[in-house]
Amino acid sequence: MRYAKPWWYKRMIEEGIKFTLQRKLILDVLNRTKKHLSAEEIYFIVRKFYPNIGFATVYRTLDLLTKIGIVIKLNFGDGRMRYELAEKENASHIHLICKNCGKVFEDGGDENEKIKEIEKNISSRYNFKVENLKIFFMGKCENCQKGGD
């Protein structure tokens, strides 16, 4: 085999769920994109490679993968959920969401240390086992501060 199996393959096997073609294709799409795709967008991309895939399968797969932590399900407030591949450890980046134009920006992880610290405090303070975190900064992007009202 030319390529090593990706980390999510191992995770799926150890969870006892099957690595079907449909699931593989959905994960490939998420792996290749930099964007935050919606279920529908993923559906249409996968369809190019596998025209028979059903809408429900996409939703089911995304839910399943979210449940086991391979995928992160995000709500940026545009009326549909969006999905991204989880990062290998439970590190996760901050999302900046412009309330004006809707654009989403990602922080490059420069705050990771501070976040880890907060996570540790919270974990021990509440006896809460943190599996992943979602940090959204809502506000106005550079562009919208100048131009729009």
Query: How many whole angstroms separate alpha carbon 138 and alpha carbon 64?
Result: 28
Q: Is 29 in the site for DNA (CB under 7 A)?
A: no
Query: How many whole angstroms separate alpha carbon 6 and alpha carbon 86?
Result: 12
Q: Is 98 in the site for Zn ion (CB under 5 A)?
A: yes
Query: How many whole angstroms separate alpha carbon 46 and alpha carbon 39?
Result: 10
CA 17 to each of CA 33, 68, 130: distance values in angstroms, whole numbers, following the listed order: 24, 10, 23
Query: How many whole angstroms separate alpha carbon 101 and alpha carbon 113?
Result: 30
Instruction: Mention every residue, 6+ apart, whose C-beta is less than 8 A from residue 43.
Output: 53, 55, 58
Least distance from C-beta 2 to DNA, angstroms? 20
Q: Choose the contact partner of 149 out of Zn ion, Mn ion, a second copy, none; CB within 5 to 8 A by kind.
A: none
Among 17, 68, 74, 144, the residue binding DNA under the rule CB under 7 A is: 17
Among 101, 122, 130, 138, the residue binding Zn ion under the rule CB under 5 A is: 101
Query: How many whole angstroms separate alpha carbon 87 and alpha carbon 71?
Result: 9
Q: Is 75 in the site for a second copy (CB under 8 A)?
A: yes
Q: Choose the contact partner of 56 out of Mn ion, a second copy, DNA, none; CB within 5 to 8 A by kind.
A: DNA
Q: Choose the contact partner of 101 out of Mn ion, Zn ion, a second copy, none; CB within 5 to 8 A by kind.
A: Zn ion
Query: How many whole angstroms separate alpha carbon 25 and alpha carbon 29?
Result: 6
Tell me which residues touch a second copy (CB under 8 A): 67, 73, 75, 77, 94, 96, 98-99, 105, 107, 110-111, 114-115, 117-119, 121-122, 125-142, 145
Tell me which residues touch DNA (CB under 7 A): 17-23, 38-40, 50, 52-57, 59-61, 63, 79-81
